Structure 1
Amino acid sequence: MTTFALVGAGPGLGLATARRFGAAGHSVALISRSAERLDSLTAELASDGIQARGFTADVLDPASLTAALQDAAGTLGPIEILQHSPVPRADFMKPVLDTHADDLDAPLAFSVKGPLTCVNAVLPGMRALGRGTLLFVNGGSAVRPNTAVAGTSIAFAAESAYAHMLHDALAPENIHAAQLIVPGAIRPDAEHSSPDALAQRLYDIHTERTGFRHYAEPMPE
């Protein structure tokens, strides 16, 4: 049995994707800073018959991320699918004219160093399996910079570039890197951007393995 590892586990999209990949037969590794949240999520998944474990780590702490992913693989089985979708902090979203050099340290660590750390941790296992999927979930500012949220616009653009390079470099090894852009808010009543709809879309991206960038719905003009 292989493992679906979710970095940024939460009760919305995270729980929905964990359910979808768990229902397909994967063990589920949930990674979050909050041990209390992890306990709640793993209990919900267990009630659905899904094998899940929580591992505490902070996206801004590379050592804890690496340890959590290595522990997950050792406990649950090799990680075949990695989803990186933590929610950025509110202080990453200053207007561009109020943003200074130091304001970018945390957003870039969160959206570039965090994913890079995760990929480096899971890549040896994927290579040993001979397959793998790397899923990156970003908001619309990743492809259309927004002057109101400069930190995430800059950091998401850098994450997009890194993920796209992974897509090109790893394709010959049967490891598929892809990005899902969610232009607006994730809402339970949204046709294409509800947690369940997005979870299915991410599962389809994993199984169909076509192209790098995908959109949950068209970007507004």
Structure 2
Amino acid sequence: MTSPVYVVLGAGPGLGLAVARRFAQEGYVAVLAGKSRADAEPLAETLAGEGHQAQGVGVDLTDPAAITGIIAGVGTEHGRIDVLHFNPSAWREKDPLHLTVPELLEDVTLGAGALLPAVQAAHPFFADGARVLVTGSAAADKPSKAAASLGVQKAAVRNLVTSLDATLAPQHRAVAVQVNGVLGREGPFSPPPIAEAMWQAVARPDEEWTPHVAYDG
């Protein structure tokens, strides 16, 4: 396999599909991992219908063993992983007076902790110059009291990216693209321009690399 491989965890019909499309347009094989194969396969079929190489797989992102199995399977099948995109987050409408510790830990496991087994499983398959890409959010700095766990997830995963980048460098790098706005169907915070910003963040040369990029629309 000579084509570069892009893998997105937490793929959905919005931003996940848009970013996968942007990388596919650059010649990447796009592997979209959703909650189930039934969720992911239609996304892959959409890209395939546009002339791209794509496949859909399902994975439970709260299960480290399942993550390891899926990522190792993709790496073995394709012989390489060039971009690992971590896109999930958990939305739970509970403020800090009602959010329980088990609920907080469950959400952080999905929205931040799942990145660890994903990178660990992908690392043996990383091609030269491979990148870890993480979808960040303004919630890391301005959390909503109505969904208190989201800000913790995004602050935690941003912090983790800093450590990952330092650990992977110089052969591989990691970046969190912090989206400082509310996702919408149109305008600067719609999926296509955000996907372009994520492509640009990953495509930067090493001499311009930083582990954090802000997208302000």
What are the residue-to-residue correspondences of 1:49-88 with 2, within 5 Å? 49-88=51-90
Q: Secondary structure at the match of 2:146?
A: coil
Q: How many residues are paired up?
A: 212
Which of residues 161, 169, 177 is equivalent to 1:180?
177
Unaligned runs of at least 5 residues, structure 2: none
Note if 1:131 corresponds to 2:133.
no
What is the SS of the residue equivalent to 1:96? coil
TM-score, normalised on structure 2?
A: 0.91
Partner of 1:146: 144
**What do the CA deviations read for 1:155-190 (whole angstroms, capped 9, x no partner)?**
221211111111222222x21111111123221212
CA–CA separation in structure 2 for the residues paired with 1:2 and 1:189: 30
- Tell me how large the CA RMSD over aligned residues is: 1.6
- Cα separation, 2, equivalents of 1:68 and 1:20: 22
Does structure 2 retain, via aligned residues, the 8 Å contact 1:29–1:76? no
Distance 1:112 1:199 in 2: 20
Q: Distance in 2 between matches of 1:7 and 1:26?
A: 16
Deviations 1:81-117 (A, max 9, x none): 01101242x32x4111222222212112112320111
Contact 1:6 1:82 in 2 (8 A): yes
**What is the identity percentage for the equivalent residue pairs of Structure 1 and Structure 2?**
26
Aligned residue in 2 for 1:114: 114
Aligned partner letter, 2:194: L
Q: Does 1:214 align with 2:216?
A: no
CA distance in 2, matches of 1:108, 1:101: 11
Q: Which runs of 5+ in 1 are unaligned?
A: none
- Tell me the TM-score normalised to structure 1 length: 0.89
* C-alpha contact 2:80 2:125 (8 A) present in aligned 1: yes
SS in structure 2 opposite 1:73? Answer: helix
